[in-house]
Amino acid sequence: MGRGGDVDAAGALRRFVREAGGCAVVDGGLATELEAHGADLRDELWSARCLLSAPHLIRKVHLDYLDAGANIITSASYQATIQGFQERGLSRERSEALLRRSVHIAQEARAIFAEGSSKGPFATHGIHHHRSAASSARCPVLVAASVGSYGAYLADGSEYTGEYGRSVTKETLKSFHRRRLQVLADAGPDLIAFETIPNKLEAQAYAELMEEEDIRIPAWLSFTSRDGASAASGDPIAECAAVADSCARVAAVGVNCTAPRLIHGLVLSIRKVTSKPVVVYPNSGETYVPETKEWVESDGGGASETTDFVSCVGRWRRAGAALVGGCCRTSPATVRAISRALREPDGDAASPDDDDDDLPAVAVL
């Protein structure tokens, strides 16, 4: 299941980042775009509902992000779990097939884009206008299999608090995620993105599962924060990042679905405990209200406009971020602006940790 030869995951991802121009671009919000294309996501499966009802819309959104300049696209599996599908009456076999399908849809979008069938300004035939003269082709696109937290399955907002209750232990979390991780790895993604992790306990569960299942597909652990100093649960972000640093199979560590105003300080804290690449993909700056399942304006000046969001990118990059994208309520317009900001001559794309290595790059590279 996605078993490769022994590899330094962080070194491999570092190589990919260099090939991407010094900072790789991650895609943006999926659910927001699916809704913009007419999908009804008022469901506990959220964006994963479209794996059943509208897979063509998922492919369309992936292509929109590739057109916008994304180097990494994430599968529509964040809210997709075997347990969640079975609660909807699907068989275990069908549930596992849908998990695999989420990765395959992203791979299909990548293939279409590579063939030049997608006509946006960042399609293969036009990319040279946005890259250095030394680059004769766009950096390969990676597909990341998204793994949402246990709280995402619960659909009660606990992915933003980490409050799972005392009965939920590390073994509980490993049991919940194990088969899902095996199935997603079998589908052949280039990366595994453990996203919106609210506490250290779940990070430890992921790291142990990667080892126990001998999964050698590079992964990243990405936490969510409400205060800029800790994960949502209150566990210090440095302690959470140290979990990622200690696992050789984890290639990068970072934060997502967090207000843009908090990102800079979090990157600095993470960089103090790890030399692995740092990934950041904030939300729009709004706050999610689980009771109404709505996003509302935040107190504290969250950056809700694309221009404000993108104005922070250079600062995050200088702090040490190596992969930058968007999360909830961001769009292809956000990602296009990020990509252009990073590719501009004064975009400060040089890595702060520019030690060269000759390690092979990940997966399809």
Q: Hey, is 124 helix, strand or coil?
A: helix
Residue (of 148, 162, 28, 9) closest to 77 by Cα position: 148
d(CA 317, CA 315): 5
User: Is 257 labelled as part of a ligand binding site?
Assistant: yes
CA 288 to mean position of chain CA atoms: 18
Handedness of CA 180, 186, 189, 191 (dihedral sign): positive
Q: Which two tokens stand for residue 166?
A: 């005392």
Contact assessment for residue 103 and residue 189, using Cβ atoms and an 8 Å cutoff:
yes
The Cβ-side half-sphere exposure at 326, using a 13 Å CA radius, reads 34
User: Is 327 labelled as part of a ligand binding site?
Assistant: yes
In which region does residue 200 sit, left (phi positive, over 0), alpha (psi from -120 to 50) or beta (all else)?
alpha
Contact assessment for residue 177 and residue 204, using Cβ atoms and an 8 Å cutoff:
no
CA 3 to mean position of chain CA atoms: 21
d(CA 185, CA 75): 12
Contact assessment for residue 28 and residue 283, using Cβ atoms and an 8 Å cutoff:
no
Q: Which two tokens stand for residue 217?
A: 């597909």
**Strands in the chain per DSSP E:** 24-25, 72-74, 142-147, 191-197, 219-223, 250-256, 278-281, 287-289, 294-296, 321-324
Q: Kindly calculate the radius of gyration of the chain based on its CA atoms and give it in whole angstroms.
A: 18
For residue 310, count CB atoms less than 10 angstroms from its CB and return exposed for 0-12, middle for 13-18, buried for 19 or more: buried
Contact assessment for residue 35 and residue 86, using Cβ atoms and an 8 Å cutoff:
no
User: Is 328 labelled as part of a ligand binding site?
Assistant: yes
d(CA 315, CA 149): 28
Contact assessment for residue 298 and residue 259, using Cβ atoms and an 8 Å cutoff:
yes
Annotated binding-site residues for Zn(2+) read 257, 327-328
Annotated binding-site residues read 257, 327-328
